Amino acid sequence: MKRSQSKVASSAGIPKAPTGIAGLDAITNGGLPVGRPTLVCGSAGAGKTMLAAEFLVRGATEFGENGVFMMFEENAEELAANVRSMGFDLEELTRQKKVSLDHVHIERSEIEETGEYDLEGLFIRLAHAVESVNAKRVVLDTIEALFAGLPNHAILRAELRRLFRWLKDRGLTAVITGERGENTLTRYGLEEYVADCVILLDHRVYQQISTRRLRVVKYRGSAHGTNEYPFLIGDRGLSVMPITSMMLDHEASMEQVSTGIPGLDDMLAGRGVYRGSSILVTGSAGTGKSSVAASFIDAACKRGERALLFAYEESAPQLMRNMGSVGIKLKPHIKNGLLQIHSSRPTLQGLEQHLVTMHDAVVEFKPSVVVVDPISNLTIERHESEVKPTLMRLIDFMKREQITALFTSLTSGPDVIEDSEVGVSSLMDTWLQLSNVETNGERNRTIFVLKSRGIKHSNQVREFLMTDKGIDLIDAYLGEDEVLTGSARLARENREKALTRIAKNDRDRRTRQLEHELKSLDAQIAALKAAAVVAEENFKFKNDQELLLTESFDRNAETMSRVRGRSGDRTAAAKPIKK
């Protein structure tokens, strides 16, 4: 954002002075109007002074514009101490003559008023301070304190009008802070004089959790984001997260990364989820959401990538112990510096603040995988309209950084999908639904890929087993129009196994029987063949015998006829045999 300032400033109508505050320059299309006063108003503790101080410090350190901080409430030491918490060293900047601090203090009880006067003294001081550091930026914080110190408001108002004119004439980009009034932006109606740009800060407490918000009420001569944007005052100054400034133009990686659960990767076209995509894991209590999350982290760390886990239910040691019980060892990854666990109570701060904390942690650690477990705790008691834009910011941010993000979300019922989840899910690329199936007095876990953009994912419900070696997915029993899991599946499988065995035995038996039958038939055939041989032999023997007899008979007859003197008439009976 900081780099694109010059371009933004030239494209918009009026020149802008970048504040250097992440997000605010995006909302205002480049920063505050150059050479004009900007009113920053808000209730006590809304962050007016911090915004003003950051504007000044960043101007001096990053944009080469020195500044004057004229304070009417705190003194210089107090201010320096306050902004030190954001990492700014005002004292050093003062020594370098980049920033001039002037504490204007009026003690009402010391002052007597008589006759005419003006505030030339204030002008002289301001002019002197501006000259001493060659300032381009001026902060007046909170000039309304003068109303309490000076009794004659008519003179004061006239002088304030002159002051703002004076600032404009000198081309000073000014930030004027003002306390929020009952029905007005500022208690004393400063907005009458400062009409170029008005920024309203708000500090709201909802469900005992505070959220800071910022809105650009007015910006003369410039387009600006009109929404309320949450912001945080962190140790790097203010962070405002504008969603409208973020285009959907992030890269889409073709690389798919493992989820750490082979069975789940199988369901996701065998390769896992796309790098840089976001994954929602929903399920009721005890469906194994955290274990899926831990597997995901484990896989990333084993690939040598950095992972960041935001745990909102368990402390880091508890989480590590519990995940150890299902064979996921996270401790070595922490020792290697590949894994960071941020555990905190969701109620520690508002959703937006959590978001900014996450943002800062991600910026610092530069992980490639981020897990939020569970996100539902952050969104508790919050309306979808608030949750969704905030999560969208987070997800957009992660995508921009090509971070694969996994969010778990607790659902109240086994098959209930919360409204907010439906809203949130549209931001997610992959949605895994874990559920408990209760049958025959036991509950079994199942997993199902509800959606996965750009991946030809399985449409099957798998059974989800947590073993001491990690998570395993097995096919649930499918058949006879029902899906069975757990012991019902086991029983069904055993029954099927038994039936199969019986069938096999039966088949074996029948095969054997056939073999026997064939063998006996063979034996019979052999016997019959033997009998045939015997019969043939008998027949042959008899035939031969008969032949012999016939021959001998013929011979006898011949002999006889010869003996009787008759020549031999051969009888036909002599040769009856074919062979």
Partner 1 sequence: MKKEISTSQNTMSAKDPAEYKLRLYVAGQTTKSAAALANLQRICETHLSGRYHIEIIDLLVNPSLAAGDQILAVPTLVRHLPEPIKKIIGDLSNEERVLVGLDVLPRLESI
**Residues classed as catalytic:** 73, 313
Task: Give min distance, CB of 36 to partner 1, in A.
Answer: 23
Q: Which helix (H) or strand (E) holds 564?
A: helix 486-564
The number of CA neighbours under 13 Å toward the Cβ of 330 is 25
- Find the binding residues for partner 1 in span 77-106 (CB under 8 A): 102-106
Contact between 16 and 31 (Cβ < 8 Å)? yes
Q: Is 402 helix (H, G, I), strand (E, B) or coil?
A: coil
Estimate to the nearest angstrom the gap between the alpha carbon of 389 and the chain centroid.
Answer: 15
Which range binds partner 1 by CB under 8 A, 110-118, 170-178, 184-192, 531-539? Answer: 110-118
Structure tokens at 37: 């006063």
Contact between 433 and 448 (Cβ < 8 Å)? yes
Task: Give min distance, CB of 75 to partner 1, in A.
Answer: 11
Q: Are strands 462-467 and 339-343 parallel, antiparallel or unpaired?
A: unpaired
Which residue in this structure is represented by tokens 């918000």?
213
Task: Give min distance, CB of 144 to partner 1, in A.
Answer: 14
Q: Decide if residue 122 touches partner 1 (CB under 8 A).
A: yes
Structure tokens at 81: 């101490």
Which range binds partner 1 by CB under 8 A, 109-117, 288-296, 317-325, 502-510? Answer: 109-117
Which range binds partner 1 by CB under 8 A, 119-127, 133-141, 292-300, 438-446? Answer: 119-127
Task: Count Cβ atoms below 10 Å from residue 20 Cβ, excluding itself.
Answer: 23
Which residue number, 152 or 505, has a Cβ lying nearer to partner 1?
Answer: 152
Q: Decide if residue 479 touches partner 1 (CB under 8 A).
A: no
Whole-angstrom CA distances from 245 to 240, 241, 350, 396, 426 are 11, 9, 22, 11, 20
* Total of residues contacting partner 1 (CB under 8 A): 25
Question: Cα(330)–Cα(338) distance, rounded to whole angstroms?
Answer: 10
Structure tokens at 196: 């170029």
Which range binds partner 1 by CB under 8 A, 48-56, 116-124, 226-234, 254-262? Answer: 116-124
Burial of 453 (0-12, 13-18, 19+ CB in 10 A): middle
Among 3, 44, 116, 481, binds partner 1 (CB under 8 A): 116
Estimate to the nearest angstrom the gap between the alpha carbon of 402 and the chain centroid.
Answer: 11
Which range binds partner 1 by CB under 8 A, 124-132, 164-172, 246-254, 542-550? Answer: 124-132
Which residue number, 93 or 119, has a Cβ lying nearer to partner 1?
Answer: 119
Which residue number, 115 or 479, has a Cβ lying nearer to partner 1?
Answer: 115
Question: Cα(408)–Cα(69) distance, rounded to whole angstroms?
Answer: 46
Contact between 5 and 24 (Cβ < 8 Å)? no
Among 14, 127, 316, 450, binds partner 1 (CB under 8 A): 127
Q: Decide if residue 167 touches partner 1 (CB under 8 A).
A: no
Cis peptide before 346 (omega within 30 of 0): no
Q: Decide if residue 434 touches partner 1 (CB under 8 A).
A: no
Among 112, 182, 468, 480, binds partner 1 (CB under 8 A): 112
Q: Decide if residue 150 touches partner 1 (CB under 8 A).
A: yes
Task: List alpha helices for 368-485, DSSP H.
Answer: 384-400, 419-425
Task: Give min distance, CB of 174 to partner 1, in A.
Answer: 17
Among 44, 64, 115, 456, binds partner 1 (CB under 8 A): 115
Task: Give min distance, CB of 400 to partner 1, in A.
Answer: 47
Q: Decide if residue 118 touches partner 1 (CB under 8 A).
A: yes
Which residue number, 111 or 363, has a Cβ lying nearer to partner 1?
Answer: 111
Q: Decide if residue 148 touches partner 1 (CB under 8 A).
A: no
Task: Give min distance, CB of 117 to partner 1, in A.
Answer: 4
Which residue in this structure is represented by tokens 């399920």?
283
Task: Give min distance, CB of 65 to partner 1, in A.
Answer: 22
Contact between 272 and 256 (Cβ < 8 Å)? yes
Nearest to 222 by CA among 5, 14, 39, 2: 14
Residues of the shown chain interacting with partner 1 in the complex, contacts defined by CB under 8 A: 102-106, 110-122, 124-125, 127-128, 146, 149-150
